[in-house]
Amino acid sequence: MNALLARYRDSLSPALRRYYRASLWPSLLFIALAVLHKWAIRLPGLTLPVRLALVLAPVLCMAWLFACYLRFLRDCDELERRIELDALAWAAGSGLLASLVAVFLLDAGVVAWPARQVAGVSGLLLVGGYGLARMLLRRRYP
């Protein structure tokens, strides 16, 4: 198992290794704040400013993570940048199409999904589409 992890680590570009190291803290902080948010919204005595802070704190962590990703894009070579930008474009396009289908299905009354479920699934489609496109593009450009 260690040999497999070492081979994977050695196959990463220096820019990607730096990105993984830089994104560790915002990712862990996001998870902790998301769990805190789910726990805290059940408390009845929270004031509106505290609720607002709990809602916006995970968003700030995602903005920090996005800044790390933009720094990674700046530091990587041309081929890696092209793969990343193509993967983002594919994910955005497929996510847009999926949300368009969901809007039309909801509007026609064919399905009755709750808004929270639609938002969560659309976010997962974006992340999953990015991961799938990135994997396929990495195979295309070895």
For residue range 35-75, what is the model confidence (pLDDT) as tens digits?
998 888 888 888 889 888 888 999 999 999 999 999 999 99
pLDDT at 10: 82
C-alpha pair distances (Å), 90 with each of 31, 79, 80, 131, 134: 26, 16, 15, 10, 9
pLDDT at 38: 86
Q: Would you say the pTM of this structure is higher than 0.75?
A: yes
pLDDT at 86: 96
